[in-house]
Amino acid sequence: MNRIIKLFAVILAGLVIIAVSAAIILPKVIDPNDYRTDISQAVHDSTGLQLSIDGPIGWSVFPWLGLSLENLNIKGSDNSQLAKLDSAEVSVKLLPLLGMKVEVQTAHLQGLELDLIKNKEGRGNWETPKSKTVAAKTTDESSKETESSSASAPALSLDIANVSVEGLVLRYKDLKSGQSYTIDEAGLETGAIRSAQPFDFNLKARVNSSKDKLTLKTQVSGMLTVDLKNGKFVVDTLKASATPSGKESETLQLTGHIDVTQKPLMVAGNLDVTEFNPGKLLKQLHIELPAMANAKAMSRLSFKSHFTTDGQSFNADKLDLTLDAFNINGHFNVLDLKKQNMVFQFKGNELNLDHYLPPSAQPAATSETSSEATAETASTSKQTSTSAKELPLIPEDTLRPLNIKGSLELAALTVANLTFKKPTVEIDAANAREQVKLTSGFYEGTIDLNTVLDVRTVGTPRINTSAALKGINLTALATAMPALQTIEGNVNADLNVSTQGQLLSVLTKNLNGKVDFGIAKGAFTQANFDKMVCEGIAKVRNKKLTKTDWSEATQFTRLGGSFNIKNGVASNNDLAAALQSLSLKGDGDVDLVNRSLDYHLGLNISGNNAENNDPECQVNEDYRDVTWPVRCHGVLGQQSCGIDTERLGDTVKALLKQEAKKRIEKELEDKVGPLKDVLKGLFK
């Protein structure tokens, strides 16, 4: 037995001597520079690219397996310069490799330049038919080898003193679009890399865009832990930043922590965006934002998050976003990343969307601005739907694939100059149909709204809206809608309308549906109908009024009716109101397209006479059913009301008929009176 052991020992010692001798002798006997042509040919056979090594090739075997290259050049498929490398050095300890342990003394890359050019036909100088075929084959084979070997092969153990990459330059040019980018001043530095131990890294680069004349400085740093044995990776104290060049440049900075487990796949972490000025940054990136109603809009943005994903789904259990004075927080879950079906729940404080709309989109608050807006609207309505002044309002391409179900609660929401108190919005989107339900306080009352947006037909989205309004205070609402300043009271209304199109003018023109409403204990604030009736009576009598202290409003106990809307014109023929001394009926049209009104009112005096009226217009009960016509017309919010001279003729005719009837009855009474007495005598 001892002889056998000695024999194996001698053999082993001999092998060690041979290996050491080979490690010492081979680098002296074999010169890798003699194989430049073979190396270049092998690269050409496998990729179709031309490689030339113009500098010396150095190598060593023991105790370090080392390789160094200098002045390496690669030409692209169009014979242009594709890559150039000044020098590369790597040294790996030989014996630890037998135990699947990689000990690298140093890894250094200096002066790597890549020139990627895509021609006018869309083909890159790095693409060759051979390289595509080989790449596809290599990818397929390597994936199979990985699957078969990953289960059996032990994991590598890393021990790298440091990694250094300096002078990295990448240039990309697209001859078809004329766009080109350059990444330079790029480099990577790391600390000692050891398995399952954190090491620091710092990657930096400068990005230049020739077309946009934009230069962006970027940097990514942090602590990275690589545990190949357990398939775990951790990025801690991650910090990524991008800063445009120039004075007082705004910086976009991302911080966070990421944990990755390979089997089973699980990624968890948090990513936060430090507060910055998005409007200023976008301007420095040569991205012009449209003018906004609020000059301070888009001046503050920050973001915090925590998330997990297994590759099949994504769960963000914490999201917190602050934009200017608005803050929203909550969570959302993508149940299936392939199908993109999402559920969410968010809560936020006050949001004013009007701050982010163009100033011209704001409803007018004064009569002067109202007239200007009306003139512009009337002009726009005469143009085609492709007017350059209008932009599409509905992002069809974004909405069409949505598969979302969720809710949003806000302290307040302002949109189109209308303010909703504590609104709750529920969204259910699927199959290119989005349903939005809104429940909210609304100007001292409540509103329940249900809208369905159908974007299945490209270019012609369809909108159906139904709503129930209860107890809305018209005086409060008139602050946002000046057209309602002419009436006071609390309104209840039911609305069911539909429209289709992309532009505001088209949506208004295609508006159809019905609105039913009722107002209790209100007033017409800009018209005294008692005065108007008196003026009508006095005009018939050819008299002048002597009363001067007329009130500016007309009180009513109830008012109700309905509007039928067809192609943007709301028509009404059943308006009815009970005033203090009058009853009122009305009919007419409200043209929403041209923002104009033409409405007729009929006033009937209640009782024997109208109290507190001018003496010249006092009437007796014979005229209590006579209709006194009033017409309101003009621009919405600036309409004027007065005696309807066109319909006054009918009133005069009615009065003449009534007077004629009275005279005939009197004449008959005078003639028939004696005959009545005779008849009475006959039937005693």
Region 356-368: mean pLDDT is 57
Task: Quickly state the pLDDT bin for 368 (edges 50, 70, 90).
Answer: very low
Amino acid at 269: G
CA distance 231 to 266: 11
**What is the per-residue pLDDT for 528?**
77
CA distance 422 to 420: 7
pTM for the full predicted model: 0.69
CA distance 511 to 593: 9
**What is the per-residue pLDDT for 386?**
41
pLDDT tens-digit readout, 185-225: 899 999 988 888 999 999 999 999 887 788 999 999 999 99
Region 111-140: mean pLDDT is 76
CA distance 301 to 356: 14
Are 35 and 53 a contacting pair, CB within 8 Å?
no
Compute the mean pLDDT over every residue in the chain, rounded to the nearest whole number.
80
Amino acid at 24: I
Region 597-620: mean pLDDT is 66
Local structure of residue 25 (DSSP, 8 states): H
Q: Which two tokens stand for residue 162?
A: 């440091």
**What is the per-residue pLDDT for 255?**
97
**What is the per-residue pLDDT for 195?**
85
**What is the per-residue pLDDT for 676?**
47
Residue 678 has pLDDT above 60, yes or no: no
**What is the per-residue pLDDT for 365?**
42
Place of tokens 């909108």: 463
Cα–chain-centroid distance for residue 30? 66
- Could you give the angle at which helices 645-682 and 529-541 cross, rounded to 10 degrees? 70
**What is the per-residue pLDDT for 47?**
78
Most confident of 23-37, 294-308, 353-367, 636-650: 294-308
CA distance 9 to 499: 94
**What is the per-residue pLDDT for 95?**
63
What percent of the chain shows pLDDT beyond 70?
A: 75
Q: 3-state DSSP call for residue 374?
A: helix
Place of tokens 């009508």: 536
CA distance 429 to 137: 42
Beta strands 157-160 and 101-118, pairing class:
parallel
Lowest-pLDDT range of 126-140, 315-329, 410-424, 580-594: 126-140
Local structure of residue 486 (DSSP, 8 states): T
CA distance 298 to 283: 11
Are 530 and 585 a contacting pair, CB within 8 Å?
no
Residue 303 has pLDDT above 90, yes or no: yes
Residue 373 has pLDDT above 60, yes or no: no
pLDDT tens-digit readout, 497-513: 999 999 988 999 999 99
Which residues lie across from 427 on neighbouring strands? 406, 436
Most confident of 305-314, 593-602, 646-655: 305-314
**What is the per-residue pLDDT for 682?**
34
Are 430 and 454 a contacting pair, CB within 8 Å?
no
Longest dimension (CA), the chain: 171
Amino acid at 397: D
Omega prior to 264 cis, within 30 of 0: yes
Are 536 and 651 a contacting pair, CB within 8 Å?
yes
